[in-house]
Structure 1
Amino acid sequence: MTVLQVPRRFNGPPDSANGGYVSGLLAERHDDTTVTVVLRSPPRLETPLLVRAGQLLDGDIVVAESSAGAFEHEVPRAVPFPVAGAASSAYRCNETFSTCFVCGSARADGLRIEPGPVGEGLVASQWIPDASLPLGPALVWAAMDCPGGWSLPDMVERPAVLGRMTATVADLPEVGEHCVAVGELHGEQGRKAFASSAVYGADGRLLGRAEQVWIRLK
């Protein structure tokens, strides 16, 4: 058994942890290379959470469950760093996500991943990791979280939260490396939306890839 505690810096919504980051922390404790994490309840910040038998528990509440995962789609294509930077000029965040550690435009200490359109159903953003961040697999999971979500249309007016994420991390970025995060929409069914994402290093190497199910808020 392991106890995790997510610092307040790594929030998604204002009062809970970023789903991709928490999923990555849980996946780090899994034996499989590709892991699927299903989020069942908002992970509380600054709260001891117990990892047991692939589950993340907050007392008797199941916060998340992990299992071996597999991909259904091709990895989203890489986008040149300058193109990703230009795409971010179209990024518009709403109040729900403005303080998100990954995509929040109000966060000077966040990842500042601000995806904008670069093609039909495809978004991209620059990402330059800084020395204040723990450059582990969970951070790459976090960087792959929001790009998938921002590939959904009308995210400002019809926000969605992460419900399930399958991901693998192949390599880690260096501090100051000019990385690119991309997200691609695969369709919607009712309140569910399906997307994939990836992070590429400055030399074009694939740092990680993910597939996600997003749930539109009522």
Structure 2
Amino acid sequence: MIAESEVLVPVRFGGAPGVAHGGYTCGLLASSVGPIEGTPVVSLLLPVPLDQPMHLEISPDQAVLVFDEQVVATMVASPEPIPATPPLTAAEVARAVEDYPGHDQCFVCGQDSVDGLLLAPEAVGPNAVACPWVPLETSPEVLWAVLDCPAGWATDEPMVLTRMAADLHTTPKPGEPHVVVARQVQRLGPVATTLSSIYASDGTLVAAATAQWTVPRF
């Protein structure tokens, strides 16, 4: 049996200019499907439009997101848990080099975004970044988005998110300080693999993700 519905990504949740934020889109797809056995794994096949209705088809073994008769994203479940990125304390994050270059409209890390999260991942080692985060919004989609951008900054060159999986262990407490850490763990040709995690101030693991990134072809 296939369940069908319509979903869209509001303009606020943009990533690259004119395109939906990859992590937010992955979280939207995972949360639209509902509880599953295992870890949701989302593949982004084409750029996802902003503020455009998309068709979501959910079957027992996968979910498919369609726009303009093209499959833009899919989701399946994996039995494999995601390893956590080693934590850092708030003090360690505060000592990161303050040279964050992100000045654009990205919902998560764009410093020019009017109503974004304003995360500023900074280097804490080779291909490793971290940043503080005080959550005001705690939806699954926002958690996926927060796990995404720092991982993108951990890669050794600009890349495009093509696949993401996340385990959400608990809901962060609004208004309390958290730390987001990410690192690149593998690079094979044009493809990089990252791990990212969100920690509460007491060291509790809030969420963890792994992502695959690919060098753009254009």
TM normalised by structure 1 equals: 0.89
1:174–1:73 distance in 2 versus 1, CA, 3 Å: closer
Find 2:119's aligned residue among 113, 120, 144: 113
Instruction: From the CA coordinates, give the structure whose radius of gyration is larger.
Output: 2
Identify the residue that residue 178 of structure 2 maps to in structure 1.
179
Identify the residue that residue 125 of structure 1 maps to in structure 2.
131
For the aligned residue pairs, the C-alpha RMSD in angstroms reads 1.8
* Distance in 2 (alpha carbons) for counterparts of 1:50 and 1:5: 9
Note the C-alpha offset of 1:124: 0.3
CA offsets 1:75-95 (integer angstroms, 9 cap, x no match): 11111123223426122226x
1:1-218 pair list within 5 angstroms: 1-28=4-31, 29-30=33-34, 31-53=36-58, 54-71=63-80, 74-87=83-96, 89-93=98-102, 98-130=104-136, 133=137, 135-153=138-156, 155=157, 159-218=158-217
1:4–1:73 distance in 2 versus 1, CA, 3 Å: closer
Q: Are the counterparts in 2 of residues 35 and 70 from structure 1 also a CA contact under 8 Å?
A: no
Note the C-alpha offset of 1:2: 2.1
1:71–1:126 distance in 2 versus 1, CA, 3 Å: farther
* Distance in 1 (alpha carbons) for counterparts of 2:97 and 2:37: 34
CA offsets 1:133-157 (integer angstroms, 9 cap, x no match): 4x2111110000011111112x3xx
Gaps of at least 5 residues in structure 2 are none
* Distance in 1 (alpha carbons) for counterparts of 2:176 and 2:17: 28
Q: Are the counterparts in 1 of residues 82 and 166 from structure 2 also a CA contact under 8 Å?
A: no
Q: Are the counterparts in 2 of residues 71 and 166 from structure 1 also a CA contact under 8 Å?
A: no
TM normalised by structure 2 equals: 0.89
* Distance in 1 (alpha carbons) for counterparts of 2:70 and 2:91: 44
* Distance in 2 (alpha carbons) for counterparts of 1:171 and 1:72: 15
- Classify the secondary structure of the residue corresponding to 1:110: coil
1:215–1:83 distance in 2 versus 1, CA, 3 Å: same
Note the C-alpha offset of 1:207: 1.1
- Classify the secondary structure of the residue corresponding to 1:2: strand
Q: Are the counterparts in 1 of residues 82 and 167 from structure 2 also a CA contact under 8 Å?
A: no
- Classify the secondary structure of the residue corresponding to 2:111: coil
Note the C-alpha offset of 1:50: 1.6
* 17-26 or 185-194, larger mean C-alpha shift: 185-194
Amino acid at match of 2:96: A
- Classify the secondary structure of the residue corresponding to 1:182: strand
Amino acid at match of 2:118: R
* Distance in 2 (alpha carbons) for counterparts of 1:71 and 1:184: 19
1:88–1:101 distance in 2 versus 1, CA, 3 Å: farther
Amino acid at match of 1:51: L
